[in-house]
């Protein structure tokens, strides 16, 4: 029998055995091949770490509230869309991922007349 953490596997067929009862020298029977395996999980050592044990710049930047810097939105391009305010046929736009990754991005439009609007893809 081999143990990985609290998971115990049969030595003959590799099948996952029933959870250990934590009793020393107990026998776990494999339901697949019938082999009797000694319970060695009492010998397993479990360690835990704190997130602060492995500091990273990414973890430090993570927060519940995410902000979008104005400099991140400076990737404007020109598109053939009519401004609803002045009727101009060409406006600038930029796309920003404000919602979760499996949802569309938000498109921000701006016209030379000063009118701004956005749409969610």
Which residue numbers belong to the known binding site for Zn(2+)? 10, 13, 30, 33, 83, 86, 111, 113
CA 18 to CA 63: how far, in whole Å?
A: 40
C-alpha of 39 from chain center:
35
Which pairs count as long-range contacts for 105-114, CB under 8 Å and 24+ apart, including other chains? 108/73, 109/79, 109/81, 109/83, 110/76, 111/83, 111/85, 111/86, 112/88, 113/83, 113/85, 113/86, 113/88
Query: What residues form the annotated binding site?
Result: 10, 13, 30, 33, 83, 86, 111, 113
């Amino acid at each position: 029998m081999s143990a990985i953490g609290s998971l115990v596997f049969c030595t003959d067929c590799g099948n996952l055995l029933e959870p250990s009862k934590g009793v020393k020298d107990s026998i776990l029977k494999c339901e697949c091949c019938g082999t009797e395996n000694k319970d060695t999980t009492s010998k397993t050592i479990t360690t835990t770490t704190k997130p602060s044990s492995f500091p990273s710049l990414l973890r430090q930047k993570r927060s519940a509230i995410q902000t979008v810097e104005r400099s991140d939105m400076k990737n404007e391009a020109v598109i053939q869309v009519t401004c609803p305010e002045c009727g101009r046929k060409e406006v600038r736009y930029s796309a920003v991922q404000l919602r979760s990754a499996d949802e569309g991005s938000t498109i921000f439009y701006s016209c030379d007349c000063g009118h701004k609007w956005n749409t969610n893809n």
